[in-house]
Amino acid sequence: MQARRYSVLAMCSVMALAGCKTSGTDLGGMLDAGASLMTAATLSDGDVKTLGDQTIAHHDKKNRVASAGSHHAKRLAGLTAGWKEVEGRSLEYKVYISPEVNAFAVPNGSIRFYSGLLDSMTDDEVRYVIAHEIGHVVLGHSKKALQVEYATLAARQAGAASGNTAVSAMSSSSIGELGQALIGAQFSQSQENEADDFAVDLLKKTGKPTGGAVTALRKLEKLHGNQRSMFSSHPAPGDRAKRLEARIASK
């Protein structure tokens, strides 16, 4: 579903995002009249990292980040010990002080957890969530989500521009909007299953219990229910729990 949506957005993106500069890279330069639509909509790894850096910096400034000496930060540091780098990807973690039960990953390797999630889950359950978010980074799901949301934002900004006026460099509000889209990103069923499988395998590989994967999803089921939109390919937490339970039992 993500891939199909991305293709549609590629067709919607304009060929002129001039002035959106990153370190040594002019994103607008990729979108000259001679570029293909796919090239126009696809950001390089370097561009994605730069956008990721900008996005997470914006949200770290916007949110209340737990201090290094706080209970939440110390707990997360202990739970992520040994996972500062996974499969060649450097990762860094912080906690936002908020009652929201949520977590999200940015493709530059930044992963954020809300204190509400830490407060509502056991260590084994939080480890599963950590491993699941790492999966989204390592498997490229977060990168694809950022590319899709960036293309959406670019197309909308271009549509609002008069004539052939190029879209200006991304503003702070645009970066914030991009970040909000990533936080609320709905991954496809196949992507969530892949991240779940990655999480269980990582937990096993590092000698951590895997049962927290099932109980964490059951808690999310109680919190959000087991329903999903008929137009969404995003799997319900109860269905994911049942699938993982069977997978763990078979190994």
Look-up: residue for tokens 């990729």?
30
| Residue 41: strand pairing partners | none
Residue 167 tokens, joined:
């879209």
Q: Report phi then psi at 222, rounded to 5.
A: -65, -35
5 phi-psi bin (left φ>0, alpha ψ -120 to 50, beta other) = alpha
Task: Give residues with Cβ within 8 angstroms of 40, minimum separation 6.
Answer: 10, 13, 14, 15, 30, 31
Torsion sign (Cα): 70, 76, 80, 81? positive
**Mind telling me the catalytic residues?**
133
| Residue 65: strand pairing partners | 96
Helix locations, the chain, DSSP H: 2-12, 37-41, 45-62, 71-79, 115-120, 123-138, 141-160, 172-183, 189-205, 211-224, 237-250
Instruction: Judge contact between 22 and 47, C-beta under 8 A.
Output: yes
